[in-house]
Amino acid sequence: MKSLCLVLALAFATASGTVASASALPLPIGVTTVPLAVVTNDRDTSVSRLELMVNDAASVSGIYMETDASANSDPAKAKSMVYPLAGIESADGVVLGQGQGVKAVYLQGTIAAQAGQGKLVIRYLANGVFRHWKECRIDLKRVGPHDWQLVNAYDGQPIQQIEVKTWALGISTLGNVCPVANA
């Protein structure tokens, strides 16, 4: 049981840094990014920047996440990941965070670039022992010709930082995204 808790704790410590279901590639040619939010967690000092990928015609092609290594880890652990729009809009979405083989954070939803909006859901592993998942909704809105922002679907406030808050068996909440009652 103790080793399971350790494995789960490691999984959530890297929830914003180690990713799967994406391509570990540099930003595609002809694509620029629009900053959406900074992602931090309470287990280490790593910082991820979540950005929307758009082309010259302002058409959305996916999400780009760049993660800096934590202050006490090897700088080579910094990475950039590309999440194509087709993966985000698939039934299962994409895995944004995992560690030690445990998928802990998923992103799924739709982005209508022409309408300038999107509806996203972040699903996270709240209790790894009992495989209990929670989810929170996020809206995505165009606020300028080439500018977008994440918006809290529960209170309408812009989201500039997502704080992954953990506990021994999983993720307790996503600060600035989930309602307080979801904690």
Whole-number Cα distances in Å, 146 to 10, 67, 73, 84: 37, 23, 35, 19
- Higher local confidence (pLDDT), 165 or 17: 165
- pLDDT tens sequence across 40-70: 999 888 899 999 999 888 889 999 999 986 6
Tokens representing 171 are 């993720």
The CA distance from 157 to 177, in Å, is: 9
The CA distance from 64 to 50, in Å, is: 6
Question: Which helix (H) or strand (E) covers residue 148, if one does?
Answer: strand 147-152
The CA distance from 149 to 172, in Å, is: 24
- Higher local confidence (pLDDT), 77 or 41: 41
Give 54-116 as a DSSP string.
E-TT--EEEEEEEEEPPTTS-GGG-EEEEEEHHHHTSSS-EEEEEETTEEEEEEEEEEETTTT
pLDDT at 152: 97
Amino acid present at 152: N
User: If DSSP codes are grouped into helix, strand and coil, which group holds residue 4?
Assistant: helix
Q: Where are the domains of the chain?
A: 2-175
DSSP label at 3? Answer: H
Q: Are strands 102-112 and 94-99 parallel, antiparallel or unpaired?
A: antiparallel
pLDDT at 76: 61
pLDDT at 15: 40
Residue 131: Cβ within 10 Å count = 9
Residue 149 has pLDDT above 60, yes or no: yes
Dihedral in degrees, nearest 10, Cα atoms 142, 147, 85, 16? -110
DSSP label at 28? Answer: P
